[in-house]
Amino acid sequence: MLVLCCLWAAVMNCPAPLIYRPGEGWTYEAVGAGAAWQRKRAKDQLAVAQEAFDAGQYRLALKAARHTVKTWPLSDSSGRAQYLVGRCYEARKMDERAFKEYQKALTKYPKLENYAEIQQRQFDIANRFLGGQWFKLWGYIPFFPSMDRTARLLDQVNINGPYSEIGPKALMNIGAAREKQKDFRLAVKAYERAADKYYDRPKVGADAMYSAGIAWNRLAKRAEYDQSLAGNAINFLNDFKALYPDDPRNEEATRIVSTLKTEQARGSLKTAQFYEKYKRYQGALVYYNEVLVKDPNSAFAAEARERIDQLKPKAQRQIRRWSENDARQLERERLAATNAPAATGAKKKSP
């Protein structure tokens, strides 16, 4: 107890260069420097932050701006201070953190005069990640690129200003991010969402429908020209051509549709040959006819016509044979049903 009392009596303040303040985080202050950057009014504190930022002293500016927001959250200076927090992080190349601080400014202070500028800065940050910039571990160490996280940032930009100038661009860039990660289904969803949401903006609607058709086309190629996926691509591109007949991309859309139809015809031809190989002539005829429907002018169509002419007699003979077999089977079943009661009766009388 005596030792503890002596220790307690000898307690004294120790200068600590690292200081933690709730809501502001850790800051560094040189020993003996005191808090010369602190002011007693929000307006004066914001001025300190702005001057430090203009001078390139981003750590001091960040500290002063955070102190403004924490101490005077309801003052007119807090919104500008929160914006400066984001600017400081962006200047220090901490883009993801900057995006979050900008989001706080938009959420807490929606009447900021530079609301549109903050949205644009968020959009620029998201586009840097879309361009391949890596996300940072703990805000400092470049660790990995991520199109998932990039898509979430772009979605937030769209939510903040769905009908602003950058709102449609953010939604289209979500599709671009999904295409970069080879997730064409999610890309199509983003483009469809843009086409539905901005149908009254011809430029956005045309870009969205064309991009959706291209994404379906890429997805169909990855699935070895899956018939249903190719059909979706054809439908989107045909709708694009019908809705925007003057678009310069119509020629390219027509070429892609023609290629897709040829591939569909090839797929139907392969299926027909499979049925023919196992002597299922009726099924083969169905798919050979599909070849003619998909692309009547292709080389596959010429082969399909030739095979149809050769298989029709075989299919008719096969149908007759099946009919005769069915008739004989029905007759056997009828006779069996007729003779069954007599045999049963004979067994009953045998005792």
Share of the chain above pLDDT 70, in %: 87
Of the chain, the end-to-end C-alpha distance in Å amounts to: 116
Grade residue 323 by pLDDT with cuts at 50, 70 and 90.
Answer: confident
pLDDT at position 127 is 97
Position with higher pLDDT, 351 vs 21: 21
On whether residue 301 sits in a domain, the answer given is yes
Q: How many structural domains does the chain have?
A: 1
Does residue 271 lie within any of the structural domains? yes
Q: To which H or E segment does residue 231 belong?
A: helix 227-243
Q: Is 17 helix (H, G, I), strand (E, B) or coil?
A: coil
Nearest alpha-carbon partner for 269 in 297, 304, 298, 234: 304
pLDDT reading at 351 higher than 50: no
Q: Check whether 102 has a pLDDT greater than 50.
A: yes
| Tokens read off for 165 | 């100038």
What pTM, to 2 d.p., does this model score? 0.74
Write the pLDDT tens digit of every residue in 67-89.
999 999 999 999 999 999 999 99
Q: What is the pLDDT of residue 227?
A: 74
Q: How large is the average pLDDT for residues 247-269?
A: 89
Residue 203 lies in a domain: no
Which of 20-24, 173-177, 310-314, 333-337 is least confident? 20-24
Banded model confidence at residue 101, pLDDT cuts 50, 70, 90: very high
Q: Is residue 159 part of a domain?
A: no
Is residue 106, in this structure, part of any structural domain at all? Answer: no
CA separation for the pair 205, 193 (Å, rounded): 10
Of 25-29, 158-162, 190-194, 322-326, give the lowest mean pLDDT range: 25-29
Query: Does residue 122 lie in a domain region?
Result: no
Residue 225: which pLDDT band, with cuts at 50, 70 and 90?
A: low
Q: Which pair of tokens denotes residue 181?
A: 């990660």
User: Residue 11 has what pLDDT?
Assistant: 66
Task: Answer yes or no: are the C-beta atoms of 15 and 49 closer than 8 Å.
Answer: no
Tokens 């064409």 locate to 184
Residue 269: alpha-carbon gap to chain centroid: 35
Beta bridge partners of 136: 142
pLDDT at 33: 45
Q: Which residues of 71-105 are buried (b: 16+ CB within 10 A; e: fewer)?
A: bbeebebbbbbbbbbbbbbbeeebbbbbbbbbbeb
Split at pLDDT 50, 70, 90, the class of 30 is: low
Q: Which helix (H) or strand (E) holds 330?
A: helix 299-349
Residue 127 in any domain: the answer is: no
pLDDT exceeds 70 at position 349? no
Q: What is the DSSP letter of 144?
A: E
Per-position DSSP letters for 34-58, written without gaps between them: -STT--SSHHHHHHHHHHHHHTT-H
More confident residue, 43 or 23: 43
Mean pLDDT of all residues in 269-280 = 88
**Bridge-based pairing state of the strands 18-21 and 135-137:** unpaired
13 pLDDT band (50/70/90 cuts)? low
Q: Is the dihedral of CA 101, 106, 109, 111 positive or negative?
A: positive
Q: How far is CA 257 from the centre of its chain?
A: 24
pLDDT at 161: 93
Comparing CA positions, the residue from 211, 167, 171, 216 lying closest to residue 190 is: 171
Percent of the chain with pLDDT over 90: 54
Evaluate if residue 23 carries a pLDDT over 80: no
pLDDT, position 31: 42
Q: What pLDDT score does 104 carry?
A: 96
Q: For residue 235, is pLDDT > 70?
A: yes
Is residue 321 a part of any domain in this protein? Answer: yes
Determine which helix (DSSP H) or strand (DSSP E) holds 26, and give its type and residue range.
strand 25-28
Token reading at 270: 């392969």
Q: Quote the domain boundaries for residue 309.
A: 263-327
Q: Cα(217)–Cα(233) distance, rounded to whole angstroms?
A: 5
- Report the pLDDT value the prediction gives residue 26, as an integer from 0 to 100: 55
Mean pLDDT, all residues of the chain? 86
Phi-psi region of 325 (alpha: psi -120 to 50; beta: other; left: phi over 0): alpha
Residues 330 and 185: their CA atoms lie apart, in Å, by 51
Q: How confident is the model at residue 32 (pLDDT cuts 50, 70, 90)?
A: very low
Minimal CA–CA distance to 216: which of 263, 171, 170, 158? 263
Tell whether the model's pLDDT for residue 342 goes beyond 80: no
What's the pLDDT tens digit per position in 48-68? Answer: 999 999 999 999 999 999 999
| pLDDT confidence of residue 281 | 85
Amino acid at 120: Q
CB atoms near residue 331 (< 10 Å): 10
